[in-house]
Amino acid sequence: MTDDARLSDFLDWSRQRGIRFDGVEIRSAGEGAGNGVFVLACERANKNVIELPAAELLTAGRVAEMGRYRRILEEKSFRPTPFEMLVIFFYLERPEEGSEWTPYLNMLPSSFSTPVSLGLSLREEDLPLSVRRFWLPSVLPSPIDDDRLLWAWHVVNTRCIYVQNESHPLIDSSVVEDTIAVIPFVDMLNHTSEAACVAELDKRNRKYVVRLNKAVPEGSELHVCYGPHDNGRLWVEYGFQLEENPFTKVLLPTDLLLALAKKAGLSIDCHHQNAVEDAALSSTLYSSDEGPSWAFRTNVRLLHMDHKEIGKWRDIVYSEGKRRRRRRIEEEETRR
């Protein structure tokens, strides 16, 4: 089947399931970027470009209600996490077996460019928590196809979207809440830090919508923001990096911050160290125009305080923060 035929089947399948896409098309986003969603004409802000019934979200609870998967969970007495349930779904659903999801499955990438998928060797401590442990479920038929399982894991990890779901008795949400869903068509949107789209669940109308938050010119690609991820996180989780990423930052643990401060000639005693440790503020340096984070600036200020100030640092730091917030509120009200 050609790429055009796969796309045509997928669009027909989407329409049949009530997915509405107004004035947009799916096409290649360039070498190595897979597919993307593009506008056909200039579009105004606040327009819904994609809508689908909330019932069409692929959630762990929805999968657990499907006859085949309910039987597996009940026969094995197994309660998977939401992430695990979705991985099981993509592992077991096969186009060659006549799955009703075949048009969608055929649109998914056949491979991924993450370091895990490429077989690159990384230290465990360099990996995000979600990829440190590769899970092999006991409910899958033996022998397990490792390549297929790795593919299914990547599909869920790279395409799931945050959605607050209701708990399901067959899904284990005791440790991790059920807050993920794979959403056909919506998952074709690529990432940028300054996205033109907002994707959210409209609970009142029971629809999931993708809405423009600013006007966009004809032919431009639409993006959403996957989150405030630096390039290391993007590479490990999704297999790409951004040339200009405002979220790229350097983390400074407390012991390193103190060591650098002493190296710079600051006179630091146990009172300064205790204040920094009690504040427990995450120090970060950004590569963008934002510069040092508020937490970093506050930690440096703590280290510059004299003995009189350091004893009441909370009153000084947090009272000033409250005054700044009040000023911002007053300025906003004045502008209105």
Per-residue pLDDT tens over the stretch 88-106: 999 999 988 889 999 999 9
Cβ partners under 8 Å of residue 9, min gap 6: 1, 103, 106
Does the N-terminal peptide bond of residue 143 adopt cis geometry, omega within 30 degrees of 0?
yes
Which pair of structure tokens corresponds to residue 153? Answer: 């894991």
SS3 332: helix
Does the pTM of the predicted model rise above 0.85?
no
Answer whether 204's CB lies under 8 Å from 80's CB.
Answer: no
What confidence tens digit (pLDDT) does each residue in 133-162 have? 545 456 677 787 888 888 999 999 999 999
SS3 content of the chain, % helix, strand, coil (to 5): 45, 15, 40
pLDDT of the residue at 286: 66
Q: Return phi, psi of residue 273, to 5°.
A: -60, -45
pLDDT of the residue at 278: 82
What confidence tens digit (pLDDT) does each residue in 162-197 have? 998 999 999 998 888 899 999 999 999 998 888 888
Map out the domains of the chain with their CATH numbers. Answer: 3-238 (3.90.1410.10), 249-335 (no CATH)
Quote the CA–CA distance of 147 and 117 in Å, as a whole number.
9
